[in-house]
Amino acid sequence: MHPRTLLRPILTLATTAALAAGSLALAPAAPAVAAPPAVHADPVGLNAPYEYLGWGSPQKPTDVMAATGIKQFTLAFMLSDGGCNPAWDGSRALAGGGDQSAINSIRAAGGDVVVSFGGWSGAKLGENCSSAGALAGAYQKVINAYKLKAIDIDIENTEVSNATVRQRVISALKTVKTTNPGIKEYVTFGTTTTGPDSDGTDLIRKGAAAGLAVDGWTIMPFDFGGHSGSMGSATTKAADGLKNAVASAYGYDAATAYRHIGISSMNGVTDESDESVSTADFTTVLNYATTHHLARFTFWAVNRDRACSGGASAGDSCSGIGQSSYAFTKLIAKYHG
């Protein structure tokens, strides 16, 4: 409920006299105006598409916000500088550069960001930090630099395939949760058509064993190496498998498990030339996410959310399919949990 304040006119002595003499009529009282409804603030990371500022002709984030209504971005990627020290793409400093300027501009426009650590290529902090404590310290440097409310650990390739590193990441995230009450943590990894593979399942089990309350265990449902049916259907089946893995590890009921999982799709032609995700597939996933109140719905990447010019194929900066600009980002912006 929003209280209203009714401003009452102060009558001067002259006005009072005029009223008494009948020479001044009171104007009808203006109708009370209700305060505007509170704007619903989505949790940071709920609907934050990836944008890679060091790759793929990145668009100006505030232009994307104005065109789509999106308020959040997952900015990629925070990597190792060769040791246990975080840097954008392993080379750009946290402070004073274009990355910080982009974050400042997003926030000035009423939005916010998640910083994503990892990705497929490059030197990973999980592998280059020698202990969970050191890794937690590296994550904390970034959290402090940008006063983050959410982080994403995109654990792929050699980082996810190493059991020691998987445990190191889980233990570091447990420390970060303790140090930063209320911070959102998303863990993102690949999947099969039926749910997480053995590495992903082990990661979830390690999280449960550590008592780590991950806010959104998130799969990347593409690069399947073959699937049946539409990519929308394949995505929801993989997400059901993720839900089952999280429910089994944590002892959650189905509804609770759904609220702790997420989907990070890819728009257009994926890394496999015979696999393509359409806006119709995204609509299927949007409806699924809304029905089950998923913790997260995002995609890779804003950079690619436009048609290719001159008949070019999909790449860093376009989707490889016929689409209007930001068609996928506009669908993501409709998701509110």
pLDDT at 9: 30
Indicate if the alpha-carbon torsion angle 180, 181, 183, 189 is positive or negative: positive
pLDDT at 332: 98
pLDDT at 12: 34
> What gap in Å lies between CA 190 and CA 169, rounded to an integer?
16
**Residue 139 DSSP one-character state:** H
pLDDT at 310: 85
Distance of CA 157 to the CA centre of its chain: 21
pLDDT, one tens digit for every residue, the chain (337 residues): 332 222 223 333 333 333 334 433 333 444 444 444 334 489 999 999 999 999 989 999 999 999 999 999 999 999 999 999 999 999 999 999 999 999 999 999 999 999 999 999 999 999 999 999 999 999 999 999 999 999 999 999 999 999 999 999 999 999 999 999 999 999 999 999 999 999 999 999 999 999 999 999 999 999 999 999 999 999 999 999 999 999 999 999 999 999 999 999 999 999 999 999 999 999 999 999 999 999 999 999 999 999 999 888 999 999 999 999 999 999 999 999 9
**Residue 306 DSSP one-character state:** S
Global confidence as pTM: 0.88
Closest C-alpha to 298, from 41, 104, 43, 60? 43
Q: Is 185 a catalytic residue?
A: no
Closest C-alpha to 140, from 152, 130, 148? 148
**Which residue among 156, 159, 272, 275 is the active-site one?**
156
> What gap in Å lies between CA 134 and CA 19, rounded to an integer?
78
43-332 under CATH 3.20.20.80, yes or no? yes
Distance of CA 222 to the CA centre of its chain: 18
The domain ranges of the chain are: 43-332
